[in-house]
Amino acid sequence: MHEYSLADGIIKTVISVAEENKATKVSKVTVEYGLFSLVEAPQLDFCLGLIAEGTILKDAEFVLERNNGKIKCDECGYEGEPKIADDDMLQLMMFSCPKCDSSRTTILDGRQIIISSIDITTDEE
Ligand SMILES: [Zn+2]
């Protein structure tokens, strides 16, 4: 499963950052995922919770933020966020140019998955 290996990578990265910073607890992790990364947020959230069990992240809150990315319209030259047809049907990639409604577009940005912040607790006061 795509989301499971992604979640595994995220958890491993957070653990190594937490260890480097001598954290005793990770309280919150914010993950930004691009619209075109084809990530299903509820699945990713579920996998993160599952893998976090028994690690320093076990009490962490996971915040998943979507980045709507950037497209270039091949018809009118528009560059910016796409118009999304239906938020619940993202896996069908129903997006188009907000200016001329063309679906002939090139994806410029929005494929990546980034850990945008990690909140940790350390023993030091
Ligand atoms: Zn256009």
Domain ranges of the chain: 1-68+110-125, 70-108
CATH assignment, 1-68+110-125: 3.30.2320.50
Instruction: Give the distance (Å) from ligand 1 centre to CA of residue 71.
Output: 10
Average pLDDT (102-107) is: 94
Q: The pTM is what?
A: 0.84
Residue 45: its H or E element: helix 41-52
Span from the CA of 15 to the centroid of ligand 1 (angstroms)? 43
37 Cα to the center of ligand 1, angstroms: 22
What percent of the chain lies above the pLDDT cut of 70? Answer: 91
Tokens of 33: 């995922």
Quote the strand ranges of the chain, DSSP E: 23-34, 61-67, 70-73, 79-80, 83-84, 95-96, 105-109, 113-122
Secondary structure of residue 60 in the 3-state scheme: coil
> Ligand 1: distance of its center to the CA of 73 in Å?
5
Residue 90 CA to ligand 1 centre (angstroms): 20
Q: pLDDT tens, 44-64?
A: 999 999 999 999 999 999 999
Tell me the three state secondary structure of residue 122. strand
Residue bearing tokens 């915040």: 63
Assigned token pair, 12: 């491993």
Taking 80 as the threshold, does the pLDDT of residue 104 lie above it? yes
Q: Quote the pLDDT of residue 2.
A: 85
For the chain, report the end-to-end CA distance as a whole number of angstroms.
41
